Amino acid sequence: MSNVRSIVLLELCRHSLDWVNSIYPISSITISNCTNIPRKDICKALKELKNMGLVHSFKRCYMGEDSNCILNGWGITNAAINTPEYEIAKQEEEKCIQSLMSTD
């Protein structure tokens, strides 16, 4: 897997393991901002990852107190759970949880 695709998949896996925000799609602009990779390269990598069956695009309606909006973006598929990037993101999340739960 190319380096950019791997970075993008890792970012999506991190997002999917986020307790609070994982139900929302993450946009290519957000991925670009998080990784400091140009958006055009992110979009190319997302298209390749989608063709590989590792990610999917989806929409979610966010209903707030003042207004509602449609969020467009990306998420991982079940196939992405078997990738090294998912395993890295999972280990990072477990470390974070462990540090939050420690009583030291």
Flag whether pLDDT at 101 surpasses 90: no
Confidence of residue 47 (pLDDT cuts 50, 70, 90): very high
Q: Given this model, what pLDDT does residue 76 score?
A: 96
Q: Given this model, what pLDDT does residue 1 score?
A: 62
**In this structure, is the dihedral angle defined by the CA atoms of residues 16, 21, 23 and 28, taken in order, positive or negative?**
negative
**Which ranges of the chain would DSSP assign to H, the alpha helix?**
3-16, 28-35, 39-51, 84-101
Q: Look up the pTM and report it.
A: 0.88
76 beta partners: 55
Q: Given this model, what pLDDT does residue 23 score?
A: 79
Collapse the DSSP code of 90 into the 3-class scheme (helix H, G, I; strand E, B; otherwise coil) and give the result. Answer: helix
Q: What is the mean pLDDT of residues 57-82?
A: 91
Q: Given this model, what pLDDT does residue 21 score?
A: 77
